[in-house]
Structure 1
Amino acid sequence: MTTRQPNPLPASPTSALRVLLLPGWLDSDAAHWQSRWEQQHGDRRVTQDDWQWPKRGDWMARLEEVLLQDDRPAVLVAHSLGCQLVAAWAAHSRHTGRVVAALLVAPPDVERDDMPPQLAPWRPIVRARLPFPSTAVVSSDDPYCAPVRAAEMAAQWGSELVSVGERGHINGESGLADWPQGREILNALLART
């Protein structure tokens, strides 16, 4: 059996494909792989007005606004609450055809009792199947989501599930640096779209 190597992901923001980074609650800090990808690959961060008290409707409206600013197709690269944003937005938008794929990294279980009160507006979790190909990347020791709950969300969204072992919340504290494995997972997702 031969293994097909995925085509490299276009790195330039002027390429035919836009990569939109969707950070989670409190944004992604400088050590986060999303921030590094923004610097290295020219990916665009979708900046929210309120990172402290995120309102689902406001975040959905901002994502819609950014998607409509450019006619190029987009791939969504979400971390943490950004994954819940993708699910909520896709269930309500008429513009899902602008998205070719989504990488959903470390989706949090916002329905847990121990979640911060700032995340209460994100309940219930939107469980509708996504209308575009997606991959959910999960950690076996994510403090914000048990593996079984992450697998349930991935199945409900129709996402391929990839476990990266014990990597915490797959963020700046996980020691991932530029996270080349994540870029490979993204390239593999795009190769099958």
Structure 2
Amino acid sequence: MPTLLIFPGIGNSGPEHWQSRWERANPDFVRIAQREWDNPVCAEWTAVLESTVQRLGPSVVIVAHSLACLAVAHWAARPHSPVRAALLVAVPDPDGAAFPVEASGFSPLPMQPFSFPSIVVSSSDDPYGSSEHAAACAAAWGSRLVEIGAAGHINASSNLGDWPEGLALLQQLCV
């Protein structure tokens, strides 16, 4: 059974976010522990990801949301510990007008294939990253692209509840 690593975006995922709901419902989920959730620095986030994966071992499946997807891309572009797969949800555009000014070091975004299977999940009306951006990232990273229609930033405000469709995508990466 893989270890499922919850990797929230800026601000950490609140209690009604699907990541938090999945974590509460399943003891196999582990949340990454970042030092700074509100003023993220890419180099720090990738270092914590690497140390966490080293500690948990190669059976890790990363479950990243938003800014964490960018951290995964930066981490994957350098030598890193092996993982089983990654689910990357709501990939923001680090060069977009809506990108949080509190976040630093996330641009330029690496656009090279990952060494592990991955799925990029995109919403047609995500204010932080267009469908075209998500498709370009998925193509560059060698990820499968799944477009789920108009679901905003695919977060608690999207009213997805437990988001069973996302959990089904995650299960595809765990087999």
Task: Tell me which residue corresponds to 1:37.
Answer: 22
Distance 1:64 1:146, change over 3 A: same
Aligned residue number for residue 89 of structure 2: 105
Equivalent position of 1:117 in the other structure:
101
1:112 is paired with a residue of what secondary structure?
coil
Alignment of 1:72-151 (within 5 A): 73-95=59-81, 97=82, 99-151=83-135
1:41 shift after superposition = 1.2
> Who is 1:49 aligned against?
35
1:158 aligns to 2:158 (yes or no): no
Q: Give yes or no for the alignment of 1:167 onto 2:151.
A: yes
Q: CA deviation at 1:72?
A: 5.2
Could you tell me how far 1:93 is from its partner in structure 2? 3.0
Residue deviations 1:89-136, cap 9 Å, x none? 1111331x2x11100000000111342222242111111111000000
Unaligned runs of 5+ in 1: 1-15
Instruction: Count how many residue pairs are aligned between Structure 1 and Structure 2.
Output: 174
Determine helix, strand or coil for the equivalent of 2:102. Answer: helix
Give ranges in structure 2 of 5+ residues lacking alignment.
none
TM-score for the superposition, normalised by structure 2: 0.95
Larger-gyration structure (1/2): 1
Aligned with 2:11 (options 26, 42, 50): 26
Provide the C-alpha distance between the structure 1 equivalents of 2:84 and 2:151, rounded to a whole number of angstroms: 27
Q: Let me know the Cα RMSD of the aligned residues.
A: 1.2
Identity %: 43
Please tell me whether the aligned partners of residues 42 and 104 of structure 2 are also in contact (alpha carbons under 8 angstroms).
no
Aligned partner of residue 119 in structure 2, secondary structure? strand
Cα gap change, 1:41/1:120 in structure 2, threshold over 3 Å: closer, same or farther?
A: same
User: Where do 4+ consecutive residues of structure 1 move more than 6 Å?
Assistant: none
| Cα separation, 1, equivalents of 2:140 and 2:58 | 28
For 1:83 and 1:139, how far apart are their aligned partners in 2? Answer: 14
